[in-house]
A = this chain, B = another copy of it.
Amino acid sequence: MTDIQRFETNDRMSQIVVHNGVLYLAGQVDLDMSETVTDQTTKILERIDALLKSQGADKSCILSASIWLASMQYFVEFNGVWDAWVSPNQAPARACVQAELAHPEFLVEVSVIAASA
């Protein structure tokens, strides 16, 4: 498997795995556990921007996004940040469902698959 590249790897996961022109990002949460959905979403999307940039890619390269909200009551607030962030006319496919996340303070988690630059 010499054609797999991994970045920010520890014993549990890599934050980015690159294979065959595709980037697989780990599910991103706001480790600062900001209080609001808006703040957590903003930080998560900034983190995704940074991870993509580390590979020479950007949000226009995102193919598909998996979104988990700790409560569907956060749907409108999350989408307010998401819709403004998405690259115009270049929105990815996505699915958004409710799920309890790894820590009760995590309100949002986002994972993406992207094309490498």
Contact = CB atoms under 8 A, between A and B. Distances in A.
Interface of A: 1, 3-4, 6, 9-17, 19-22, 24-27, 57, 60-61, 63-66, 68, 72, 75, 79, 82-83, 86, 88-102, 109, 111, 113, 115, 117
B26 A95 contact: yes
A14 B62 CA distance: 11
B83 A11 contact: yes
A14 B92 CA distance: 5
A24 B60 contact: no
A33 B109 CA distance: 26
A61 B93 contact: no
Contact of A75 (B25, B64, B94, B102): B102
Contact of A14 (B13, B91, B97): B91
A92 B24 CA distance: 9
A93 B15 contact: yes
A85 to B, nearest CB: 10
